[in-house]
Chain A
Amino acid sequence: MAQTGSENTSSRADGTVRVKRGLAEMLKGGVIMDVVTPEQAKVAEDAGATAVMALERVPADIRKDGGVARMSDPEMIEGIKEAVTIPVMAKARIGHFVEAQILQALGVDYIDESEVLTPADETHHIDKFAFTVPFVCGATNLGEALRRISEGACMIRSKGEAGTGNVVEAVRHLRSIVGDIRKITQSDEAELFQWAKTLQAPLPLIQEIAETGKLQVPLFCAGGLATPADAALAMQLGAEAVFVGSGIFKSDDPAPRAKAIVEATTNYQDAEILAKVSRGLGAPMTGIDMDDVDVRLAERGW
């Protein structure tokens, strides 16, 4: 028998890729909810959210108000951190590495380098390897997802079209990412070079996908989810967890809807449970048709 003993402290390491991707693994099968106050954060935690995204305005309001959308006030993030025991995420603008430094100093558990905020850099994303805190980034297709992973993102979410309550864009993005992964697993070596060119993504990451059939990091769905059925649709299409933004707190009765979406995400393959939890939830957020959307947030990011 080996001796039980304390670990060799020199072997201890924080902020490794495994530790950073590890938290995304723990969030799988769950629902991450946008909240703007500590009270909403409590409602989200009570409903069974695996994490909350702390922000000043939900995307629907950012869309309505216009102007420049920035990182939230640290005081507001602190308030939400104190209100709940589950992980707290917060958003930084694309390319705004100082907002990210501040969020890391605040001890948030995940940073979303998000197209929902106004981009700070129209060429570069944040070098996410430079941080101990893990990052999630949005993607509309596999090339974008792999560029973000090559910059150090530890979780990818579909962008969808945030703040619309319309799931059509999230479905488009998920189908594109998952569909291309399926095609790559069928490609021969020569075709993989072509995939790298077409997707503008690093060849080694493409080769890895051809081998494993999976994205390197967990793939979550975000952008326009409003109902339990939307969440289950995303999961059946290959998402491993869901973000719900405006869809909960812009609905008539947030608490039961939040609970129902949590149950739907767990039981996404069981239509009887989905039918049961979808009953009597009141009106969902109104939603916007894509033809009536002025600003396409998903087009932000490069």
Chain B
Amino acid sequence: MSAWPNAAGSTLAPEPGDAQPTTAPEVATVDTRRIGVLALQGAFARHVEALARCGCDAVEVRTAEQLENCDALVLPGGESTTMSMLLERSGLRQPLAARLGQGLPVFGTCAGMILLAESISDGRPDQEPFRAIDIDVRRNGYGRQVDSFEADINVAGLDDGPFRAVFIRAPVVTRVGPSVDVLAEVDDDPVLCRMGSITVASFHPELTDDDRLHRLFLQSL
């Protein structure tokens, strides 16, 4: 969702009889799978933009009805405490937990990783994770904002060069279960993990123009 539509990108739907566009559309094949982005708080709009660049028309999810229609979901970065509270109050927690139990593919970044973990340390005592991936995390494990950083990481499965990863008050993965694949590390700490249909990153792929991780997630569906 862009608050200010770009002058170049017309928002008018074509009417019958309108001239057909002479140039080919930027994206040749349109992805018909419905990818949701949890939009209670945080960097959800950046994920929607990244998915759009991958040819995927993602929808913002704020209600259980919107979740129902999704084939896969992105849990964005933001404040995990705020999201936990809003998950309760929007009535989304139970339906989301149920969908996770049925194998809903999810990509969680930063706060999203925290919400999907098995256990959280340095969180709020009432913060209940979904326990969808067998890792433990420590909130703000890298420190405060002045300790936030970006770095090149090598990702298993991405052969065309390192990925610039942006860490914002990021969680540290303190334990990885035996069924979890670690796809990237920083200083021996796992920063990108996958278990079955769940992929989590402690950094923010939505903050760069590099869409390779979003594409990887879409390919895995």
Contact = CB atoms under 8 A, between A and B. Distances in A.
A281 to B, nearest CB: 15
Interface stretch (B24-32, B50-58, B156-164): B156-164
A213 B4 contact: yes
Contacts of B149: 12-14, 19
Nearest to B155: A2
A173 to B, nearest CB: 15
Given A14-B146, A16-B150, A19-B150, A2 B156 contact: yes
A270 B90 CA distance: 12
A132 B77 CA distance: 21
A23 B111 CA distance: 12
Interface string A1-32: 11111111101111110110011011111100
B4 A214 contact: yes
Nearest to A209: B4
Given A109-B145, A181-B4, A28 B78 contact: yes
A150 interface: no
B209 to A, nearest CB: 11
B59 interface: no
A109 B168 CA distance: 11
A35 B221 CA distance: 45
B96 interface: no
B3 A133 contact: no
A1 B41 contact: no
Given A27-B79, A85-B81, A86-B81, A185 B44 contact: no
B188 interface: yes
A58 interface: no
A251 B64 CA distance: 32
Interface residues of B, number: 63
Interface in A39-77: 45, 47-51
A297 interface: no
A204 interface: no
B169 A23 contact: yes
Contact of B42 (A7, A26, A132, A133): A26
B151 A1 contact: no
Contact of A14 (B62, B148, B162, B185): B148
B172 to A, nearest CB: 14
Interface in B171-207: 182-188, 204, 207
Contact of B150 (A13, A107, A110): A13
22 contacts: A4-B156, A7-B151, A7-B165, A7-B186, A13-B150, A14-B149, A18-B208, A19-B149, A22-B166, A22-B168, A25-B204, A29-B42, A47-B85, A50-B82, A85-B81, A85-B124, A86-B79, A182-B4, A213-B2, A238-B4, A240-B3, A263-B89
Please name the 3 residue pairs, one residue from A and one from B, whose CB atoms are nearest each other, closest first: A185-B7, A109-B145, A11-B152
Given A3-B156, A4-B154, A238-B3, 12 more contacts: A1-B157, A6-B185, A6-B187, A26-B168, A27-B79, A30-B42, A48-B81, A178-B3, A213-B5, A214-B3, A266-B62, A266-B86
Interface of A: 1-9, 11-16, 18-19, 22-23, 25-30, 45, 47-51, 85-87, 104, 107-110, 132-134, 178, 181-182, 185-186, 210, 212-214, 219, 238, 240, 259, 262-263, 266-267, 270
Interface of B: 2-7, 39-46, 62, 77-79, 81-82, 85-86, 89-90, 110-111, 122-124, 139-140, 144-159, 162, 165-169, 182-188, 204, 207-208
